[in-house]
Structure 1
Amino acid sequence: MSEIMLQQTPVSRVAPIWELWVQRWPVPSAMAASSQAEVLRAWGKLGYPRRALRLHECAGVLAAEHGDVVPTDVEVLLGLPGIGAYTARAVACFAYGQRVPVVDTNVRRVVARAVHGSAEAGNPSTTRDLADVAALLPRDRARAAQYSAALMELGATVCTARNPKCSICPLTTCAWVAAGRPAYDGPARTVQKFAGTDRQVRGRLMDVLRESSSPVERARLDVVWLQDPAQRDRALDSLLVDGLVEQTENGLFALAGEVSADSR
């Protein structure tokens, strides 16, 4: 749950929501018994709400096929709804102490500097990044899990993107420092903006539906983004296609799973 919530979302935003979710749904079957609408409403403003639907779907599979227990094996984890390469390995490593490479932005930066002598890692490559980290892991399983956590923490607190604290770094050798800390000269990193994007419009539409206890008229959605009706329509259509929003036969809109058979 926490790993999925933390995808592209800072800990400060995730922590209070995660605590509420753990209390409300301590086991997968508890979440599976809730509706999609309940889960989407509890997701609040974390963003990328499809993650909430995948968590709900994943909970159903865990309850029905895995005895309400999250698997330990990476390949089995990868077969669960919404679980990708990073999340599967993070769960296997941090929850179960498996010897598997776990690669996030912070780890990629540490490896880029310490091993390859580059100020930044550039754009990600799952195959290359996993191979880089796998080559560094200690053979001992317990030490490997600790090492993975340490790499991540090192990148988050010491080997930071801006103003790295090289003077207190515990690494005795670093190719980047040895080379004189050269500036990054690789391809520009892609940066996602938010203001004015379809993501922002989708979020505002979802806010209206989360705050309503019943299906709403189209007019209540239209007023959230008057500056570009075409963009608003596109955003609403994408929410319908993604299964986050449903429409009744009489043209009202609601969160997924909230439209009863009678209202249709």
Structure 2
Amino acid sequence: MLVSEIMLQQTPVVRVLPVWEEWLRRWPEPADLAREPAGEAVRHWGRLGYPRRALRLHAAAVAIGESHGGKVPASYPELLGLPGVGSYTAAAVAAFAYGQRETVVDTNIRRVHARLLSGAALPSQSLTAAEMRLAAQVMPDDVGASVRWNASVMELGALVCTARAPKCGECPVRSSCAWLAAGEPTPTYTPKGQSWHGTDRQVRGAVMAVLRVADAPVPQDLFRHAPVDLGFGTDGTGIPLAALHRLNCAPEQLERALTGLLSDGLAELHLGGFRLPA
């Protein structure tokens, strides 16, 4: 549960599922992951994006072994104390994995609450204290019912009360919806997706693709200057290196990517080359 919740942050289920399945086959228990170098977590994170989450999962696995007897803790405060675990993830794991009454508020739940209870087309652009209070107020007092409530509202938002094309005709609570009653007012802002092409994030991702397949440190010059012979990289780095150089990014953008990966702990210098952290 903890692995899936962290993988699903800002990443759709269809992309997460195969990586999650492979991850649990490789590391079925926290101790299995903790015994590996942190770089292996990054390597097997694949193309999920935001790979610092892999480092945090590895750090959480180490902490679970050191402080919780190798088992993912059940209480919200203990979960919140794990590296990389925020308030939503702690509440979700406590509720859905351990059946506890916790206020779980993700994007889907926020959208349902905004429309059903507040009459707004979309929730505010960032989570507010008022939203958290509202979610706590409407959640059933019974522990078991609260878990089902959180799961049901989340599914309603994911499958029916969607952001761009809500299926109001299929909604089981449409007769009580404040947004429908108000005449479906338009959003006060337009959600903007994150850009990718041409960004530092794209360059960082291309560098990480090289490091994930390399079985030895990659010489620094291979990142900065493509060799004439495109057959370089006998260890399997050739294809991702060629993809990196096809981006034709500015030298300063590549340097930002390399420096940023080093400072984030996602790469390290060893024997004059870049590699995943040991």
Q: TM-score, normalised by structure 2?
A: 0.89
**Partner residue, 1:253:** 274
Residue 184 (structure 1) shift: 1.4
**Partner residue, 2:182:** 179
> Aligned equivalents of 1:234 and 1:65: distance in 2?
37
Matching of residues 80-99 of structure 1 within 5 Å: 80-99=82-101
**CA displacement, residues 143-172 of structure 1 (integer Å, 9 cap, x when unaligned):** 000000000000011101122111111114
**Partner residue, 1:261:** none
Residue 126 (structure 1) shift: 4.5
Aligned residue type for 1:234: R
**Partner residue, 1:195:** 197
Question: Which of these residues, 107, 121, 124, is aligned with residue 123 of structure 2?
Answer: 121
Secondary structure, counterpart of 2:44 in structure 1: helix
**Partner residue, 2:47:** 45
RMSD of aligned residue pairs (Cα, Å): 1.3
Identity of aligned residues (%): 50
The answer to whether residue 31 in structure 2 is matched with residue 10 in structure 1 is no
> Aligned equivalents of 1:47 and 1:167: distance in 2?
35
Residue 39 (structure 1) shift: 1.2
**CA displacement, residues 28-85 of structure 1 (integer Å, 9 cap, x when unaligned):** 1110001112111111111111000000000000011101111111111111100011
> Aligned equivalents of 1:113 and 1:75: distance in 2?
31
Secondary structure, counterpart of 2:118 in structure 1: coil
> Aligned equivalents of 1:255 and 1:78: distance in 2?
27
**Partner residue, 1:165:** 167
The answer to whether residue 252 in structure 2 is matched with residue 230 in structure 1 is yes
Check conservation: 1:6, 1:14, Cα contact below 8 A.
yes
Check conservation: 1:239, 1:245, Cα contact below 8 A.
yes
Residue 139 (structure 1) shift: 0.7
Alignment coverage as a number of residue pairs: 255
Residue 191 (structure 1) shift: 3.4
Aligned residue type for 1:232: L
Q: TM-score, normalised by structure 1?
A: 0.93
Check conservation: 1:122, 1:189, Cα contact below 8 A.
no
Distance 1:239 1:211, change over 3 A: same
